[in-house]
Structure 1
Amino acid sequence: MSSLSDEEFTEFELCSQPHENISDLVLVDEVSISDMLSSPYYRTKLNVIGYIDHKPVIYYNEAGIYQWSDTLDKECLTYWISYPNSPPGWEIK
């Protein structure tokens, strides 16, 4: 998070209201990396920021979502810096 621009950090801080600062939610998510990549919105925002056990740690620029899994199509570890609200641009169906 320390590499976020001031503008992006402020946007996530607003998303985390009413807690008045950035909150976090770390969870094992049923939304897989493959699911995220099937969305044109998130596919274009993908940025590999590192590796754990030779598997990529993904940050979705401007969405505030970090994601890691040992497989592309199974549950993954997810960290949302916009919690308790949905990330900016979240697709609601």
Structure 2
Amino acid sequence: MGVRLPIRGIIVVLIGAFFIHVFSWMLDVSQFLNDQNYLLYDGELKISFWSKSLSDLAYGTFYLGEAVIIELLYRLWILKKQ
């Protein structure tokens, strides 16, 4: 019996990582609008949509690993139950 990828868990994690990414970007923009200590770079916002992509990638891989472990434990529990 081969090991199948937990597709549902991966999809849920990717959707969650996308929303975490957008939410953290929105927090950065709101902090910029509320805080005048942020610097402007060449007259444009220093904050970009991808400024937090590495931290979001780290969170995403953590949640992906968590989803894989949960899915494997669930499958083992189902196999033991049979």
If the length of structure 2 is used for normalisation, what is the TM-score? 0.20
Greater share of residues in helix: 2
Greater share of residues in strand: 1
Larger Rg, first or second structure (1 or 2) = 2
If the length of structure 1 is used for normalisation, what is the TM-score? 0.19
Structure of higher RCO (CA pairs closer than 8 Å, 6+ residues apart)? 2
